[in-house]
Amino acid sequence: MSTINLEILGNQARRTVACNYCFSNERDEEWGKVPTRPIDREDDVAAAPWVSAGYKTSSPRVVVMMLNPGHAAADHKQRRKQLGIQLRDGAITYDEYNNELAQLVPKWGFGRVVKWINSIGLDSSEIAFLNVALCAVANDQYFPELFETCFARHTRSILSTLSPHVVLLCGKKQLEPYVEPIESLGSKVILTWHYRPMNTTKGKAELQRVRTELEKLA
């Protein structure tokens, strides 16, 4: 895998937070509908990729890739929005964005995301985190065109720059179509469930399956 050019990644991140393509009224003619931002943050911007301090030197390099930023109201989402706006406006660098966002990671999914990451044997201080659709949508009313458009305009190129050995693709039903395009970038893809179903018998078995797959690649 190639080395990571953080300058290129920073430029890509700034383009994501400046993008309003999917929320333009022009999409109505193309898609027959226009998504809206969450009601508590109508001035929201994309959730730019988060790269931990240890990602660049980790082995294997793992990107955790989920569906989308959730719409639910939360203080940490307001803070992420503020950081994104500062990044867009040039008030902070991408390094500063990542450092500030690191303080919010324990609050993601109201604590469930880090718990899930730990359950599969990963350390949040050594991963990168990315969504297929980078923007939150009111009431989580996503549709295929949103995922396809964001992947084509932003996410695919960001993944290429991140150059992960492994992409943990979380959302079996919705994200299965993205396995082949990601593998074409040279990454191993582990397709799994969303992080929530951990306490059921099937959920525990899936956690163990993913953990075993990751251990084989270590």
Contact 169, 182 (CB under 8 A): yes
- Going by pLDDT thresholds of 50, 70 and 90, the confidence category of residue 2 is low
| CATH number of the domain encompassing residue 62 | 3.40.470.10
pTM: 0.94
pLDDT of res. 1: 60
Q: Is 204 a member of any domain?
A: yes
Q: Is 1 a member of any domain?
A: no
pLDDT > 90: what percent of the chain? Answer: 78
Contact 64, 164 (CB under 8 A): no
- Going by pLDDT thresholds of 50, 70 and 90, the confidence category of residue 173 is confident
Q: What is the mean pLDDT of residues 192-217?
A: 86
pLDDT, greater one: 140 or 50: 50
pLDDT of res. 199: 79
Q: Is 208 a member of any domain?
A: yes
pLDDT in tens, 64-84: 999 999 887 789 999 999 999
Q: Is 26 a member of any domain?
A: yes
User: Does residue 60 have a cis bond before it (omega within 30 degrees)?
Assistant: yes
pLDDT in tens, 23-59: 999 999 999 999 999 998 999 999 999 999 999 999 9
171 φ/ψ angles, rounded to the nearest 5 degrees: 150, 75
Count of structural domains, the chain: 1
For residue 51, list its beta bridge partners: 128
Q: Is 22 a member of any domain?
A: yes
Q: Is 98 a member of any domain?
A: yes
Both tokens of residue 6? 């953080």
Residue range(s) defining the domain that contains residue 12: 6-217
